[in-house]
Chain A
């Protein structure tokens, strides 16, 4: 009995002493106190030192894009640190190029606040908010693409530009960690209490698997947004839109916005799919063709089968651009889809004479 007691007391004593020392150290050595964070030289925040810059900004309701949730594995959460960021870290090297490093770009999830800091972030990030949405629609558009409708909580509104995206926070499930994934909004900005997304199924994709196999109508989904510099530009130039797969999403938002506001611009939308089953939203696009000022929808199939009984264009969407677009004189182009598609259309457009600053694109990596 005595031995058992001695053992318990000895171990508790040693552990307790160490715990005491460590908590003492945590209170004194690791306590950095409150620090001042100045953003864009105009807004001042008092944040608790020792936190990562990303989470400190989150606490102040400023949402920096981040797909991995602060693990330093996506490289999205870049901000410009003017002072107080400490030395550049080995963990940032893979994501920040040498030029970016020169201009003070850092990964905000890796930078910890130990001193007063001055940083710069794009002005539009101040309008980024987090919303707890209710799922209202889950509809199969094709075998692999779902239309997902989300309604914002009572009284809340999201303000976005046509073509921008939001991030879905995929909750933990089946041993997967929480991740953020980006999806473009398909509704026009006037629909600011209920938005819709097109979500394609990616085998083994954490978020897409969750959406396609676990999510149910009336579930609550956390989204953050809006983000993105791919959006409708208010000029009078003729527009060319090119998309494949779920790349149709931001184009849809742009078209609906133009339709609602009766914008009088000529616009052509080239859409590519593999087979007839992969075409979607065709009816909506056809009715837009009728109601809009000057809108043409042209699609093509890259692998039509006999069952498709396809009489339209065949080949890749690149071929459509090659055939239908005469030149780039006074035109704007909006591209959205896989990197491979964008990389093959970009040189073609430049060759046709599109000026580089009139081509906007959104790569779906």
Chain B
């Protein structure tokens, strides 16, 4: 597939947004989107982890799994890599980047089980991206995720004091707003589509 990496990058943000088009990574999206600052931190952490795990998984898939004809093991391998990488990143940040650790620290463990991360690695395989395309897709998906959660946090902060029916408070209204945001993002779909 020879889509230009820049195209993939923008498509991953706008038309193929992990949250708004694929509904992946919803758990932390709903749980942490009540404050703009913290959701920005989480978005950055997700982008960072996505960029690196996509590359590591790409290399593992193409240079270990494919030659050994073990493609069907990709799920377990990808998951282990993501978990181990997050663990390592947490240790490094904790030791050397105090400020960043206190901003991101408590969110890093959440990322281990963020299915947007696994999703990106799997899409990369399904859509047979090359290394550069994968990197663009990884970073783009991360930024798309960040955009969506920060936008959501902004909306939630704005409507914080509005009266809602009891059953809609919290997660309920957030899901509805997510749906509306997804509809709005359909407006971008004319630009470019992946698959």
Q: Chain B 80-117 against A: per-residue CB contact (8 Å), 1 yes, 0 no?
A: 11001001100110110011001000100000000000
Cross-interface CB contact of B68 among A10, A89, A91, cutoff 8 Å: A10
Question: Is there contact, CB below 8 Å, between A14 and B102?
Answer: no
B171 within 8 A of A: no
Question: Is there contact, CB below 8 Å, between A30 and B91?
Answer: yes
Question: Is there contact, CB below 8 Å, between B60 and A14?
Answer: yes
Q: Which residue of B lies closest to A31 (CB)?
A: B95
Q: Chain A 1-37 against B: per-residue CB contact (8 Å), 1 yes, 0 no?
A: 0010011001100110011011001100110000000
Question: Is there contact, CB below 8 Å, between B95 and A10?
Answer: no
Given contacts A21-B88, A30-B91, A87-B102, contact A6 B70 (CB under 8 A): yes
Given contacts A26-B91, A86-B98, contact A18 B81 (CB under 8 A): yes
Question: In the docked arrangement, what's the CA distance between A90 and B107, Å?
Answer: 12
On chain B, which size bracket covers the interface?
20 to 34
Cβ contacts under 8 Å, B88 to chain A? 21-22, 25
- CB contact list, B55-94 vs A, under 8 A: 60, 64-65, 68-70, 73, 76-77, 80-81, 84, 87-88, 91-92, 94
Question: Is there contact, CB below 8 Å, between B73 and A11?
Answer: yes
Question: Is there contact, CB below 8 Å, between A7 and B84?
Answer: no
Question: Is there contact, CB below 8 Å, between A29 and B95?
Answer: yes
Given contacts A7-B73, A14-B60, contact A30 B95 (CB under 8 A): yes
User: At the interface, is chain B mostly helix, strand, loop or mixed?
Assistant: helix
Question: Is there contact, CB below 8 Å, between B77 and A14?
Answer: yes
Question: In the docked arrangement, what's the CA distance between A7 and B76, Å?
Answer: 12
Question: Is there contact, CB below 8 Å, between B68 and A21?
Answer: no
Residue tally, chain A, CB below 8 Å to B: 20
Question: Is there contact, CB below 8 Å, between A18 and B68?
Answer: no
Question: In the docked arrangement, what's the CA distance between A89 and B73, Å?
Answer: 40
Question: Is there contact, CB below 8 Å, between A29 and B92?
Answer: yes
Given contacts A87-B102, A90-B106, contact A11 B76 (CB under 8 A): yes
Using a CB–CB cutoff of 8 Å, the interface residues on chain B facing chain A are 38, 60, 64-65, 68-70, 73, 76-77, 80-81, 84, 87-88, 91-92, 94-95, 98-99, 102, 106
Question: Smallest distance from the beta carbon of B93 to chain A beta carbons, Å?
Answer: 10
User: At the interface, is chain A mostly helix, strand, loop or mixed?
Assistant: helix
Given contacts A10-B68, A22-B88, A87-B102, contact A30 B73 (CB under 8 A): no
- CB contact list, A41-70 vs B, under 8 A: none
Question: Smallest distance from the beta carbon of A12 to chain B beta carbons, Å?
Answer: 11
Question: Smallest distance from the beta carbon of B96 to chain A beta carbons, Å?
Answer: 8
Cβ contacts under 8 Å, B102 to chain A? 86-87, 89-90
Question: Is there contact, CB below 8 Å, between B84 and A91?
Answer: no
Question: Is there contact, CB below 8 Å, between A10 and B87?
Answer: no
Question: Smallest distance from the beta carbon of B118 to chain A beta carbons, Å?
Answer: 16
Question: Is there contact, CB below 8 Å, between B84 and A10?
Answer: no
Cβ contacts under 8 Å, B99 to chain A? 87
Q: Which residue of A lies closest to B93 (CB)?
A: A29
Question: Is there contact, CB below 8 Å, between A14 and B80?
Answer: yes
Cβ contacts under 8 Å, B84 to chain A? 18-19, 21-22
Question: Is there contact, CB below 8 Å, between A14 and B64?
Answer: yes
Question: Is there contact, CB below 8 Å, between A10 and B64?
Answer: yes
Question: Is there contact, CB below 8 Å, between A91 and B106?
Answer: yes
Question: In the docked arrangement, what's the CA distance between A29 and B92, Å?
Answer: 6
Question: Smallest distance from the beta carbon of A171 to chain B beta carbons, Å?
Answer: 27
Question: In the docked arrangement, what's the CA distance between A18 and B92, Å?
Answer: 15
Question: Is there contact, CB below 8 Å, between A10 and B73?
Answer: yes
Cβ contacts under 8 Å, A29 to chain B? 91-92, 95
Given contacts A14-B60, A89-B102, contact A25 B92 (CB under 8 A): yes
Question: Smallest distance from the beta carbon of A309 to chain B beta carbons, Å?
Answer: 47
Given contacts A18-B80, A86-B98, contact A10 B92 (CB under 8 A): no
Given contacts A10-B70, A14-B60, A21-B84, contact A87 B98 (CB under 8 A): yes
Question: In the docked arrangement, what's the CA distance between A14 and B77, Å?
Answer: 8
Question: Smallest distance from the beta carbon of B121 to chain A beta carbons, Å?
Answer: 14
Question: In the docked arrangement, what's the CA distance between A26 and B76, Å?
Answer: 23
Cβ contacts under 8 Å, A26 to chain B? 91
Question: In the docked arrangement, what's the CA distance between A228 and B80, Å?
Answer: 48
Question: Is there contact, CB below 8 Å, between B87 and A11?
Answer: no
Cβ contacts under 8 Å, A7 to chain B? 70, 73
